[in-house]
Chains A and B, each alone.
Chain A
């Protein structure tokens, strides 16, 4: 079946540091890939997505590139801010058939950014 594996956390960085959160997936065919973010006390919200190989999703300074050859979708940001402190989830979706857009999530990575 489908699965998503994220790097072990938590991650602690100083403000303006470079961020990478690794994500790899297992799926047949061509899934769509997502990064969701969960701020403290809130539900998840979509951060960015990519729907085909070599696509780059970007939003709020975050980027991730769909790499089919390495089955990866690593999240990066060049300069993090304290306000980026949150839990980040990588997820995939296999539209069509019985999967019908259902998301399979990674375990989540807690990011804490200090001033």
Chain B
């Protein structure tokens, strides 16, 4: 059982380029999340999806978009990357509403130059 996979593991990107971070889970969880992790700030929620076909904005959504075409996949797109988007990005999933544990992927380290 893979759990949650993310790709790529790391990426260096020129400012202004478009980039999609991939996230796939095989646990059939309803809810999925994208966080960014920055030193001293902990993890901040970018976007979330309660179930396939729905998405919502988190704490820091600007410059990012997501889609949830099916249960398993939840890609995060940076339409035109900027240096302030340099961060480590984590995808997570949970069974659904309530106090369920969130399961995290291994992360993608993104550097925007």
Binding site for B on A (CB under 8 A): 4, 6, 32, 41-46, 49, 51, 89, 93, 95-96, 98, 100-108
With the chains together, A102 CA to B4 CA distance in Å? 18
| Chain B residues in 8 Å Cβ range of A105 | 35, 42-44
The range of chain B's interface size is: 20 to 34
Please tell me which stretch of B13-21, B65-73, B77-85, B101-109 contacts chain A, meaning at least 4 of its Cβ atoms lie within 8 angstroms of it: B101-109
| Chain B residues in 8 Å Cβ range of A103 | 33, 43, 45, 102
Given contacts A42-B106, A43-B105, A45-B104, contact A100 B48 (CB under 8 A): yes
| Chain B residues in 8 Å Cβ range of A107 | 40-42
Contact B99 A101 (CB under 8 A): yes
Binding site for A on B (CB under 8 A): 4, 31, 33, 35, 40-45, 48, 50, 56, 58, 90, 92, 94, 96-107
| Chain B residues in 8 Å Cβ range of A4 | 42
Minimum CB distance partner of B88 in chain A: A43
| Chain B residues in 8 Å Cβ range of A106 | 42
| Chain A residues in 8 Å Cβ range of B40 | 107
| Chain A residues in 8 Å Cβ range of B99 | 32, 49, 51, 93, 95, 101
With the chains together, A45 CA to B3 CA distance in Å? 12
Name the distance in Å between A93's Cβ and chain B's nearest Cβ. Answer: 6
With the chains together, A96 CA to B100 CA distance in Å? 12
Given contacts A105-B42, A107-B40, contact A100 B101 (CB under 8 A): no
Minimum CB distance partner of A103 in chain B: B102
With the chains together, A51 CA to B101 CA distance in Å? 12
With the chains together, A96 CA to B98 CA distance in Å? 7
Contact B106 A100 (CB under 8 A): no
Name the distance in Å between A68's Cβ and chain B's nearest Cβ. Answer: 16
Name the distance in Å between B82's Cβ and chain A's nearest Cβ. Answer: 23
Provide 5 A-B residue pairs closer than 8 Å at the C-beta atoms, listed in order of the A residue. A42-B107, A44-B90, A100-B50, A101-B31, A105-B42
| Chain B residues in 8 Å Cβ range of A6 | 42
| Chain A residues in 8 Å Cβ range of B106 | 41-43
Contact B42 A108 (CB under 8 A): yes
Nearest 8 Cβ contacts at the A-B interface = A43-B104, A105-B42, A107-B42, A32-B99, A105-B43, A44-B104, A46-B101, A43-B106
